[in-house]
Amino acid sequence: MSNLQYSLIRNAGGEVITVFYDGQMLSATDQHINWAGIKAGIEADDPAVMDLFDPGYTAQTRFDRLSDRVTVKGGKVYWDNQPVDNVLTNQVVRFLQAGQEDFGPLVAFFEKVQTNENPHSRGQLYAWLAANDFTILPNGNFVGYKGVRVTRTPLPDSTSFTESYESISHGTAISDGVEYTGAIPNPLGAIVEMPRDQVQHDPSVGCHTGLHVGTWSYASGFAQGAVLKVEVNPRDVVSVPTDCGHQKLRTCRYTVLEVIDAPIAGPLDYDYVDDDEDDDDDYGFSYSVEDEAVDYRNQLIKDRIGSLSDSQAEDVLSSLLDVKNTVDTRLNHLKQKRDANGRFIPKSK
Protein backbone atom coordinates (compact mmCIF):
# COMPACT_ATOMS: atom_id res chain seq x y z
CA MET A 1 0.00 0.00 0.00
CA SER A 2 1.36 3.46 -0.97
CA ASN A 3 1.56 6.49 1.30
CA LEU A 4 -0.96 8.28 -0.95
CA GLN A 5 -3.39 10.36 1.12
CA TYR A 6 -6.35 12.40 -0.01
CA SER A 7 -9.43 14.26 1.04
CA LEU A 8 -12.71 14.43 -0.86
CA ILE A 9 -15.01 17.33 -0.03
CA ARG A 10 -18.57 17.63 -1.28
CA ASN A 11 -20.54 20.87 -1.01
CA ALA A 12 -23.15 22.89 -2.91
CA GLY A 13 -20.51 23.90 -5.45
CA GLY A 14 -19.57 20.33 -6.32
CA GLU A 15 -16.66 18.07 -5.32
CA VAL A 16 -13.00 18.84 -4.58
CA ILE A 17 -10.20 16.29 -4.24
CA THR A 18 -6.89 17.15 -2.58
CA VAL A 19 -4.12 14.57 -2.81
CA PHE A 20 -0.90 14.35 -0.74
CA TYR A 21 1.95 12.21 -2.02
CA ASP A 22 5.75 12.30 -1.88
CA GLY A 23 5.83 15.88 -0.61
CA GLN A 24 3.34 17.15 -3.17
CA MET A 25 -0.16 18.48 -2.60
CA LEU A 26 -2.47 18.78 -5.63
CA SER A 27 -6.15 19.69 -5.87
CA ALA A 28 -8.83 19.37 -8.53
CA THR A 29 -12.54 20.13 -8.76
CA ASP A 30 -15.13 17.97 -10.49
CA GLN A 31 -14.76 20.29 -13.50
CA HIS A 32 -11.25 19.02 -14.19
CA ILE A 33 -11.02 17.25 -17.56
CA ASN A 34 -9.39 14.24 -15.89
CA TRP A 35 -11.81 14.16 -12.95
CA ALA A 36 -13.04 10.59 -13.51
CA GLY A 37 -9.49 9.27 -13.79
CA ILE A 38 -8.32 11.17 -10.70
CA LYS A 39 -11.19 9.86 -8.63
CA ALA A 40 -10.60 6.29 -9.82
CA GLY A 41 -6.87 6.60 -9.18
CA ILE A 42 -7.15 7.69 -5.58
CA GLU A 43 -9.73 4.99 -4.85
CA ALA A 44 -7.27 2.43 -6.32
CA ASP A 45 -4.40 3.92 -4.23
CA ASP A 46 -2.40 4.46 -7.43
CA PRO A 47 0.41 7.08 -7.16
CA ALA A 48 0.26 7.56 -10.95
CA VAL A 49 -2.88 9.60 -10.30
CA MET A 50 -0.60 12.58 -9.63
CA ASP A 51 0.15 12.82 -13.35
CA LEU A 52 -3.52 13.28 -14.17
CA PHE A 53 -3.68 16.67 -12.47
CA ASP A 54 -1.69 18.14 -15.38
CA PRO A 55 -3.66 17.91 -18.67
CA GLY A 56 -0.47 18.72 -20.54
CA TYR A 57 1.18 15.63 -19.13
CA THR A 58 -1.76 13.46 -20.14
CA ALA A 59 -1.59 14.77 -23.69
CA GLN A 60 2.21 14.49 -23.75
CA THR A 61 2.15 10.77 -22.95
CA ARG A 62 -0.16 10.20 -25.93
CA PHE A 63 1.77 12.42 -28.35
CA ASP A 64 5.03 10.69 -27.46
CA ARG A 65 3.77 7.60 -29.27
CA LEU A 66 2.87 9.48 -32.45
CA SER A 67 5.21 12.31 -33.39
CA ASP A 68 8.77 13.46 -32.89
CA ARG A 69 7.85 17.02 -33.87
CA VAL A 70 4.66 17.73 -31.90
CA THR A 71 4.93 17.74 -28.11
CA VAL A 72 2.90 19.07 -25.19
CA LYS A 73 4.54 20.44 -22.07
CA GLY A 74 2.84 22.22 -19.21
CA GLY A 75 -0.41 22.47 -21.17
CA LYS A 76 1.33 24.13 -24.15
CA VAL A 77 1.77 22.65 -27.66
CA TYR A 78 5.22 22.81 -29.25
CA TRP A 79 6.27 22.25 -32.87
CA ASP A 80 9.95 21.37 -33.19
CA ASN A 81 10.31 22.67 -29.60
CA GLN A 82 8.85 26.05 -30.55
CA PRO A 83 5.55 27.09 -28.92
CA VAL A 84 2.63 27.31 -31.34
CA ASP A 85 -0.61 29.27 -31.36
CA ASN A 86 -2.95 28.70 -28.43
CA VAL A 87 -5.71 27.52 -30.76
CA LEU A 88 -3.81 24.25 -31.19
CA THR A 89 -3.49 23.86 -27.43
CA ASN A 90 -7.23 24.43 -27.10
CA GLN A 91 -7.86 21.67 -29.62
CA VAL A 92 -5.80 19.28 -27.49
CA VAL A 93 -8.06 20.11 -24.55
CA ARG A 94 -11.16 19.51 -26.70
CA PHE A 95 -9.82 16.06 -27.61
CA LEU A 96 -9.23 15.27 -23.95
CA GLN A 97 -12.66 16.53 -22.92
CA ALA A 98 -14.29 14.42 -25.62
CA GLY A 99 -12.43 11.34 -24.41
CA GLN A 100 -10.58 10.90 -27.71
CA GLU A 101 -7.87 8.26 -27.48
CA ASP A 102 -6.67 8.53 -31.10
CA PHE A 103 -4.40 11.56 -31.33
CA GLY A 104 -3.10 10.60 -34.79
CA PRO A 105 -5.54 12.92 -36.64
CA LEU A 106 -4.59 15.81 -34.35
CA VAL A 107 -0.89 15.31 -34.99
CA ALA A 108 -1.57 15.13 -38.75
CA PHE A 109 -3.55 18.37 -38.49
CA PHE A 110 -0.72 20.16 -36.65
CA GLU A 111 1.80 19.00 -39.23
CA LYS A 112 -0.40 20.10 -42.16
CA VAL A 113 -0.87 23.56 -40.65
CA GLN A 114 2.91 23.93 -40.72
CA THR A 115 3.01 23.09 -44.45
CA ASN A 116 1.00 26.21 -45.31
CA GLU A 117 3.66 28.16 -47.18
CA ASN A 118 2.60 31.62 -46.00
CA PRO A 119 3.03 32.66 -42.33
CA HIS A 120 0.43 35.38 -42.97
CA SER A 121 -2.06 32.70 -44.05
CA ARG A 122 -1.24 30.52 -41.04
CA GLY A 123 -1.90 33.43 -38.72
CA GLN A 124 -5.31 34.09 -40.28
CA LEU A 125 -6.14 30.39 -40.16
CA TYR A 126 -5.37 30.35 -36.43
CA ALA A 127 -7.72 33.29 -35.94
CA TRP A 128 -10.51 31.54 -37.85
CA LEU A 129 -10.02 28.30 -35.92
CA ALA A 130 -9.89 30.14 -32.58
CA ALA A 131 -13.25 31.75 -33.29
CA ASN A 132 -14.97 28.46 -34.12
CA ASP A 133 -15.18 24.95 -32.67
CA PHE A 134 -13.77 23.16 -35.69
CA THR A 135 -13.79 19.47 -36.53
CA ILE A 136 -10.84 17.43 -37.83
CA LEU A 137 -11.01 14.47 -40.19
CA PRO A 138 -8.90 11.32 -39.71
CA ASN A 139 -6.35 12.50 -42.31
CA GLY A 140 -5.71 15.80 -40.51
CA ASN A 141 -7.80 18.03 -42.78
CA PHE A 142 -10.67 19.99 -41.27
CA VAL A 143 -14.39 20.28 -41.97
CA GLY A 144 -15.99 23.40 -43.43
CA TYR A 145 -19.37 24.20 -44.94
CA LYS A 146 -20.51 25.70 -48.22
CA GLY A 147 -23.95 27.02 -49.09
CA VAL A 148 -24.89 26.19 -52.68
CA ARG A 149 -27.72 26.50 -55.18
CA VAL A 150 -29.64 23.32 -55.96
CA THR A 151 -30.89 22.51 -59.46
CA ARG A 152 -33.47 19.74 -59.73
CA THR A 153 -33.93 17.92 -63.02
CA PRO A 154 -37.07 15.75 -63.38
CA LEU A 155 -36.55 12.16 -64.49
CA PRO A 156 -38.66 10.68 -67.30
CA ASP A 157 -41.09 9.10 -64.84
CA SER A 158 -42.00 12.63 -63.58
CA THR A 159 -42.18 11.36 -59.98
CA SER A 160 -38.52 11.79 -59.04
CA PHE A 161 -35.60 13.98 -59.96
CA THR A 162 -31.85 14.35 -59.81
CA GLU A 163 -30.13 17.15 -57.91
CA SER A 164 -27.01 19.05 -58.86
CA TYR A 165 -25.14 21.60 -56.76
CA GLU A 166 -23.38 24.74 -57.92
CA SER A 167 -21.81 27.81 -56.34
CA ILE A 168 -24.02 30.83 -55.76
CA SER A 169 -21.28 33.34 -56.57
CA HIS A 170 -19.78 33.30 -60.05
CA GLY A 171 -16.13 33.16 -61.01
CA THR A 172 -13.55 30.91 -62.63
CA ALA A 173 -12.43 27.67 -60.99
CA ILE A 174 -11.66 24.03 -61.74
CA SER A 175 -14.04 21.26 -60.70
CA ASP A 176 -12.76 17.70 -61.11
CA GLY A 177 -10.16 18.81 -63.65
CA VAL A 178 -12.52 20.90 -65.82
CA GLU A 179 -12.35 24.70 -65.82
CA TYR A 180 -15.64 26.58 -65.49
CA THR A 181 -16.52 30.27 -65.63
CA GLY A 182 -19.76 31.30 -63.96
CA ALA A 183 -21.46 29.08 -61.39
CA ILE A 184 -19.00 26.35 -60.39
CA PRO A 185 -20.35 22.75 -60.22
CA ASN A 186 -19.96 21.16 -56.78
CA PRO A 187 -20.96 17.50 -57.28
CA LEU A 188 -20.39 15.13 -54.38
CA GLY A 189 -16.81 13.94 -54.33
CA ALA A 190 -15.53 16.78 -56.53
CA ILE A 191 -12.20 18.48 -55.94
CA VAL A 192 -12.75 22.19 -56.54
CA GLU A 193 -9.61 24.27 -56.95
CA MET A 194 -7.97 27.34 -58.44
CA PRO A 195 -4.40 28.68 -58.60
CA ARG A 196 -3.32 29.90 -55.19
CA ASP A 197 -1.91 33.15 -56.57
CA GLN A 198 -5.36 34.05 -57.90
CA VAL A 199 -6.94 33.92 -54.43
CA GLN A 200 -7.19 37.30 -52.71
CA HIS A 201 -4.72 37.16 -49.83
CA ASP A 202 -5.60 40.53 -48.28
CA PRO A 203 -8.14 39.92 -45.49
CA SER A 204 -9.29 43.56 -45.56
CA VAL A 205 -10.69 43.09 -49.07
CA GLY A 206 -14.18 41.63 -48.84
CA CYS A 207 -16.17 39.71 -51.49
CA HIS A 208 -13.21 38.97 -53.74
CA THR A 209 -11.65 36.06 -55.63
CA GLY A 210 -11.13 32.71 -53.96
CA LEU A 211 -12.99 29.56 -53.02
CA HIS A 212 -15.07 30.38 -49.97
CA VAL A 213 -15.73 27.98 -47.11
CA GLY A 214 -17.67 29.03 -44.04
CA THR A 215 -18.94 28.07 -40.63
CA TRP A 216 -22.26 26.26 -40.38
CA SER A 217 -24.16 29.43 -39.42
CA TYR A 218 -22.68 31.41 -42.31
CA ALA A 219 -23.09 28.69 -44.95
CA SER A 220 -26.63 27.72 -43.94
CA GLY A 221 -27.70 31.37 -43.99
CA PHE A 222 -26.17 31.85 -47.43
CA ALA A 223 -27.42 28.60 -48.99
CA GLN A 224 -30.04 28.39 -51.70
CA GLY A 225 -31.24 24.83 -51.30
CA ALA A 226 -28.41 22.89 -49.65
CA VAL A 227 -25.34 23.04 -47.43
CA LEU A 228 -22.32 20.96 -48.39
CA LYS A 229 -19.86 19.49 -45.94
CA VAL A 230 -16.43 20.09 -47.43
CA GLU A 231 -12.89 19.07 -46.54
CA VAL A 232 -10.06 21.61 -46.43
CA ASN A 233 -6.35 20.94 -46.11
CA PRO A 234 -4.82 23.58 -43.76
CA ARG A 235 -2.01 24.13 -46.26
CA ASP A 236 -4.52 25.46 -48.84
CA VAL A 237 -6.02 28.27 -46.71
CA VAL A 238 -5.04 31.68 -48.06
CA SER A 239 -6.93 34.34 -46.11
CA VAL A 240 -9.81 35.08 -43.74
CA PRO A 241 -11.86 38.17 -44.73
CA THR A 242 -12.34 40.57 -41.83
CA ASP A 243 -15.77 41.74 -42.99
CA CYS A 244 -17.54 38.54 -41.84
CA GLY A 245 -16.38 38.19 -38.26
CA HIS A 246 -14.29 35.04 -38.95
CA GLN A 247 -17.31 33.29 -40.44
CA LYS A 248 -15.66 32.34 -43.75
CA LEU A 249 -12.24 31.80 -45.26
CA ARG A 250 -10.68 31.77 -48.71
CA THR A 251 -8.91 28.66 -49.90
CA CYS A 252 -7.44 27.47 -53.18
CA ARG A 253 -8.80 23.93 -52.88
CA TYR A 254 -11.48 21.85 -51.16
CA THR A 255 -13.21 18.50 -51.58
CA VAL A 256 -17.01 18.14 -51.52
CA LEU A 257 -18.01 15.35 -49.11
CA GLU A 258 -21.78 15.31 -48.67
CA VAL A 259 -25.01 17.26 -48.26
CA ILE A 260 -25.91 17.74 -44.60
CA ASP A 261 -28.68 19.40 -42.61
CA ALA A 262 -26.84 19.97 -39.31
CA PRO A 263 -23.25 20.83 -38.31
CA ILE A 264 -20.80 18.13 -37.27
CA ALA A 265 -20.42 18.00 -33.50
CA GLY A 266 -17.17 17.27 -31.68
CA PRO A 267 -13.48 17.69 -32.45
CA LEU A 268 -13.12 14.57 -34.64
CA ASP A 269 -15.28 13.17 -37.43
CA TYR A 270 -14.79 9.51 -38.36
CA ASP A 271 -17.54 9.45 -41.03
CA TYR A 272 -14.95 9.61 -43.79
CA VAL A 273 -11.89 7.38 -43.65
CA ASP A 274 -9.02 7.88 -46.09
CA ASP A 275 -8.01 4.52 -47.52
CA ASP A 276 -5.50 5.95 -50.00
CA GLU A 277 -2.22 6.81 -48.29
CA ASP A 278 -0.88 8.52 -51.42
CA ASP A 279 -3.72 11.02 -51.75
CA ASP A 280 -5.07 12.35 -48.48
CA ASP A 281 -7.88 14.27 -50.20
CA ASP A 282 -9.49 11.35 -52.01
CA TYR A 283 -12.31 9.73 -50.05
CA GLY A 284 -13.14 7.10 -52.65
CA PHE A 285 -15.48 9.14 -54.80
CA SER A 286 -13.12 8.98 -57.78
CA TYR A 287 -13.91 5.29 -58.34
CA SER A 288 -16.52 5.65 -61.05
CA VAL A 289 -19.00 3.31 -62.69
CA GLU A 290 -16.66 3.14 -65.69
CA ASP A 291 -13.76 2.08 -63.44
CA GLU A 292 -15.87 -0.66 -61.89
CA ALA A 293 -16.96 -1.80 -65.33
CA VAL A 294 -13.35 -2.06 -66.49
CA ASP A 295 -12.44 -4.08 -63.39
CA TYR A 296 -15.42 -6.34 -63.98
CA ARG A 297 -14.43 -7.03 -67.60
CA ASN A 298 -10.76 -7.53 -66.72
CA GLN A 299 -11.65 -10.08 -64.06
CA LEU A 300 -14.03 -11.79 -66.45
CA ILE A 301 -11.29 -12.13 -69.05
CA LYS A 302 -8.86 -13.51 -66.48
CA ASP A 303 -11.38 -16.04 -65.21
CA ARG A 304 -12.34 -17.28 -68.64
CA ILE A 305 -8.89 -17.34 -70.23
CA GLY A 306 -6.99 -18.79 -67.29
CA SER A 307 -8.16 -22.35 -67.86
CA LEU A 308 -7.98 -22.39 -71.69
CA SER A 309 -5.30 -23.36 -74.18
CA ASP A 310 -3.53 -20.61 -76.12
CA SER A 311 -5.63 -21.04 -79.25
CA GLN A 312 -8.87 -21.18 -77.25
CA ALA A 313 -7.82 -18.11 -75.29
CA GLU A 314 -7.26 -16.15 -78.50
CA ASP A 315 -10.74 -17.05 -79.74
CA VAL A 316 -12.35 -16.06 -76.44
CA LEU A 317 -10.41 -12.79 -76.27
CA SER A 318 -11.44 -11.89 -79.82
CA SER A 319 -15.08 -12.57 -79.02
CA LEU A 320 -14.91 -10.45 -75.87
CA LEU A 321 -13.35 -7.52 -77.71
CA ASP A 322 -15.76 -7.66 -80.64
CA VAL A 323 -18.78 -5.96 -79.08
CA LYS A 324 -19.97 -3.76 -81.95
CA ASN A 325 -23.13 -5.72 -82.59
CA THR A 326 -23.79 -7.06 -79.12
CA VAL A 327 -25.57 -5.71 -76.07
CA ASP A 328 -23.97 -6.50 -72.72
CA THR A 329 -26.50 -6.18 -69.90
CA ARG A 330 -24.36 -7.53 -67.07
CA LEU A 331 -23.32 -4.06 -65.91
CA ASN A 332 -26.69 -2.37 -66.16
CA HIS A 333 -27.10 -2.35 -62.38
CA LEU A 334 -24.08 -0.08 -62.14
CA LYS A 335 -25.72 2.59 -64.29
CA GLN A 336 -29.32 2.23 -63.18
CA LYS A 337 -30.81 5.54 -62.08
CA ARG A 338 -31.69 6.23 -58.46
CA ASP A 339 -34.33 8.49 -56.93
CA ALA A 340 -33.70 11.30 -54.44
CA ASN A 341 -33.51 8.78 -51.57
CA GLY A 342 -30.85 6.68 -53.31
CA ARG A 343 -33.20 3.81 -54.23
CA PHE A 344 -33.06 2.19 -57.67
CA ILE A 345 -35.78 3.34 -60.05
CA PRO A 346 -37.47 0.32 -61.67
CA LYS A 347 -36.86 0.20 -65.40
CA SER A 348 -40.60 -0.29 -65.99
CA LYS A 349 -41.03 3.32 -64.91
pLDDT above 90 (res 181): yes
Q: Which tops the pLDDT comparison, 86 or 201?
A: 201
End-to-end CA distance of the chain: 77
- Across the beta sheet with 82-83, what order do the strands follow? 70-73, 76-79, 82-83
Question: How many Cβ atoms from other residues are within 10 Å of residue 51's Cβ?
Answer: 15
DSSP symbols for 58-104: HHHHHHTTT-SSEEEETTEEEETTEE--HHHHHHHHHHHHTT----H
Alpha-carbon distance of 162 to 233, in angstroms, equals 30
How confident is the model at residue 185, as a pLDDT? Answer: 97
By DSSP bridging, strand 178-185 and strand 161-175 are: antiparallel
Alpha-carbon distance of 286 to 277, in angstroms, equals 15
pLDDT above 60 (res 278): no
Query: Looking at this protein, which amino acid is placed at residue 71?
Result: T
pLDDT above 80 (res 342): no
CB 111 within 8 Å of CB 69: yes
Residue partners of 96: CB distance under 8 A and separation at least 6: 33, 34, 55, 58, 59
CB 248 within 8 Å of CB 212: yes
- Axis crossing angle, helix 104-114 with helix 86-97, rounded to the nearest 10: 170
Alpha-carbon distance of 147 to 157, in angstroms, equals 29
3-state secondary structure of 124: helix
pTM: 0.64
3-state secondary structure of 341: coil
Buried b (16+ CB within 10 A) or exposed e, 120-145: ebbebbbbbbeebebbbbbbbbbbbb
How confident is the model at residue 325, as a pLDDT? Answer: 47
Could you tell me the CA-to-CA distances from 192 to 4, 27, 63, 302, 316 in Å, in that order?
A: 59, 51, 33, 37, 43
Which residues of 155-272 form beta strands (DSSP E)? 161-175, 178-185, 191-193, 211-214, 225-232, 237-239, 248-251, 253-260
Mean pLDDT throughout 40-69? 76
Alpha-carbon distance of 84 to 82, in angstroms, equals 6
Please name which of 179, 161, 264 lies closest in space to residue 220, comparing C-alpha atoms: 264
235-274 pLDDT, tens per residue? 999 999 998 888 999 999 999 999 999 999 889 998 765 5
Least confident of 2-6, 156-160, 268-272, 280-284: 280-284
Question: Radius of gyration over alpha carbons of the chain, in Å?
Answer: 27
3-state secondary structure of 109: helix
Mean pLDDT throughout 190-206? 95
Question: Which pLDDT band holds residue 315 (cuts at 50, 70, 90)?
Answer: low
How confident is the model at residue 312, as a pLDDT? Answer: 61
How confident is the model at residue 284, as a pLDDT? Answer: 37
CB 251 within 8 Å of CB 118: no
Alpha-carbon distance of 275 to 258, in angstroms, equals 18
Segment of 93-102, 253-262, 311-320 carrying the highest mean pLDDT: 253-262
136-167 pLDDT, tens per residue? 999 999 999 999 999 998 888 777 888 999 99
